[in-house]
Structure 1
Amino acid sequence: MAKKNTKSPDEMSFLDHLEELRWHLIRSVLAIVIIASVALLMSDFLFDTILFGPKSMDFPTYRFLCKMGNFVGIESDFCADELPFIIQSREMSGQFSAYIWTSIWVGFIVGFPYLLYEMWKFISPGLHPNERKHSRGFIFTASLLFFTGALFGYYLVAPLSINFLGTFTVSSQVSNNIDLASFISTVRTSVVACGLIFELPIIVYFLTKVGLVTPEILKKYRKISLVVVLIIAAVVTPPDVVSQILVALPILVLYQISIYISRRVLKNEAKREAKLAAKRAKKS
């Protein structure tokens, strides 16, 4: 067990900080391993229900889009009985590797709030009491944004990507036999990437607090940011236009929200500075 460090952050040496960081990382890894072990025991539910859910036409997203198509009188491909491809494993260790690595990624996703907690416990001693006070709710807010993004990726980006890429053909002579690793990668990338992208407001909040970002900067580089957003969407999503647009739209919304957050942070900082100045004036 790690010895509890009673030194203040100012008194700790570089090696003391490394020791603290080491134990935070060890506890984070242990949390991932424990959750991954539970996931290994629930492999049938994890693969058949969760991971392969977007392959079934009974998936909620397909049913909703099918009903919407029928409502407006459009014949929809989302009303098909099944997707015209099969999933296969072409390597000797393919299924075993998928079994292990998928469980580890589940450990990361489910354990994300605890990972944030460990990160916060390492960072917070170096903050001023007032900064810690204004950062209350960080873990809850960051976790909520991450899981919102993960659900967005799972229920929207992943199924639409799978439906588009799994049904796309260049010729009737070519059949789609999707490799297991490729299918899992599509679902995993959609979920994790969207979860992390939805953390943009939190990132902007802290960058504003340290003075690296202002609302004026965000507004000035809005057009450049649009190009960057499209590039990021192209990198983190499967290679189809639909997925890239679906990811780009919420990023643009989050960017606008981030401008508002940055403005609020600066206003709160100005009010705090005004109060401190008033107190100094009274004392003098």
Structure 2
Amino acid sequence: MEQANHQNDQEHVLVSHLTELRKRMIIVIVFFILSLILGFFVSSTILNFIKDQPSAVDIEWNVFGFGDGITIYLKCALIVSVLITLPVALYQTWKFVKPGLTEQEKKGTFIFIPISFFLFILGVVFSYFVLFPMMLQFLTKINQTIGATETYGINQYFKLMFGIIFPISIMFELPVIVIFLTKVGIVNPKFLRKIRKVAYMVLVVIAAAITPPDFVSEILVSIPLLLLFEISIICSSSIYKKKVRDS
């Protein structure tokens, strides 16, 4: 009888967790859809802002297909939606795991929400205003050196831009992920230093995958990724020392 009651309690807890998870996911999906709609309304303004930037002002955005324009609108709206939905998704994730946390853990993990969002925005700003213009300038000089006539399609321009912005922005979350994993005891600075060479190789491969096939572009993207890993080690070391001191 006790075993049956225990099993019923477990099933009730599981159903309760699934119901709560479904509720959190619905909230995130609704925010995503609403912000996607908002993205369509502001895409024109954003695209005009991008067109006026020094990296784009001298480039003609040609279209080579009827669907090129709407494709760019969709991508731009998607970026707006991700930026708006990200803090909501982080908060809903925290609300879902909150009941299983202690008071100290609740305070310690809540701070990850604004920090994660800030780092993502920082990644977007850095990749668009620093990395992307440098890469575009380098590629343009190469084309001019060989006497090529530059006729860019809008799809090619944004494919390169989004291919840099999204991966770099996600990689900017690395310090937060490492801090969280250190807090829960999954990693420590000693382990991170031990896998440094492997991590470097993986990050260089990622840089090569998201950049045009040239050595300079790979270096321009690899350097900030490697710096982020080193910053992650420093953050992990700080958190680990604090844990040891408080234990």
TM-score w.r.t. length of structure 1: 0.73
Q: Equivalent residue for 1:72?
A: none
Shift in Å at residue 44 of structure 1?
2.7
Structure 1 unaligned blocks of 5 or more: 1-9, 58-81, 274-284
Partner Cα distance (1:18, 1:237) in 2: 40
Partner Cα distance (1:132, 1:208) in 2: 16
Q: Equivalent residue for 1:252?
A: 226
Q: Equivalent residue for 2:104?
A: 130
- Contact in 2 for aligned 1:35/1:110 (Cα 8 Å): yes
Q: Equivalent residue for 2:7?
A: none
Structure 1 counterpart SS, 2:235: helix
Q: Equivalent residue for 1:31?
A: 31
- Contact in 2 for aligned 1:153/1:195 (Cα 8 Å): yes
Partner Cα distance (1:224, 1:182) in 2: 33
Q: Equivalent residue for 2:191?
A: 217
Give the superposed CA RMSD.
2.5
Partner Cα distance (1:166, 1:87) in 2: 15
- Bigger Rg, structure 1 or 2: 1
- 1:74-113 equivalences under 5 Å are 82-83=58-59, 86-113=60-87
Partner Cα distance (2:62, 2:18) in 1: 45
Structure 1 counterpart SS, 2:151: strand
Q: Equivalent residue for 1:189?
A: 163
Shift in Å at residue 151 of structure 1?
0.5
Cα–Cα, structure 1 residues 167 and 106, in superposed 2: closer, same or farther, change >3 Å? farther
- Contact in 2 for aligned 1:35/1:106 (Cα 8 Å): yes
Shift in Å at residue 203 of structure 1?
0.8
Partner Cα distance (1:89, 1:123) in 2: 47
TM-score w.r.t. length of structure 2: 0.83
Q: What is the CA deviation profile of residues 48-99 of structure 1, one whole-angstrom value per residue up to 9, with x for unaligned ones? A: 2126635435xxxxxxxxxxxxxxxxxxxxxxxx35xx33222222212221
Shift in Å at residue 167 of structure 1?
4.7
Q: Equivalent residue for 1:276?
A: none
Shift in Å at residue 157 of structure 1?
1.5
Partner Cα distance (1:125, 1:244) in 2: 44
Structure 2 counterpart SS, 1:168: helix
Q: What is the CA deviation profile of residues 125-167 of structure 1, one whole-angstrom value per residue up to 9, with x for unaligned ones? A: 3323322232241111111111111110110112222233345
Shift in Å at residue 45 of structure 1?
1.6
Paired amino acid for 1:127: L
Cα–Cα, structure 1 residues 163 and 25, in superposed 2: closer, same or farther, change >3 Å? farther
- Contact in 2 for aligned 1:51/1:184 (Cα 8 Å): no
Q: What is the CA deviation profile of residues 231-262 of structure 1, one whole-angstrom value per residue up to 9, with x for unaligned ones? A: 12112334443332232222222222222222
State the number of aligned residues. Answer: 237
Picking from 140, 157, 162, the partner of 2:114 is 140
Is 2:48 aligned against 1:48?
yes
Q: Equivalent residue for 2:176?
A: 202
**Structure richer in helix, relative to its length:** 2
Partner Cα distance (2:149, 2:72) in 1: 23
Is 2:153 aligned against 1:179?
yes
Q: What is the CA deviation profile of residues 251-282 of structure 1, one whole-angstrom value per residue up to 9, with x for unaligned ones? A: 22222222222222222222332xxxxxxxxx
Structure 2 counterpart SS, 1:88: coil
Partner Cα distance (1:243, 1:118) in 2: 37
- Contact in 2 for aligned 1:215/1:263 (Cα 8 Å): yes
- Contact in 2 for aligned 1:109/1:192 (Cα 8 Å): no
Cα–Cα, structure 1 residues 105 and 51, in superposed 2: closer, same or farther, change >3 Å? farther
Partner Cα distance (1:164, 1:15) in 2: 56
Q: Equivalent residue for 2:235?
A: 261
- Contact in 1 for aligned 2:50/2:56 (Cα 8 Å): no
Picking from 133, 146, 151, the partner of 1:159 is 133
Shift in Å at residue 216 of structure 1?
0.9
- Contact in 1 for aligned 2:43/2:76 (Cα 8 Å): no
Paired amino acid for 1:220: K
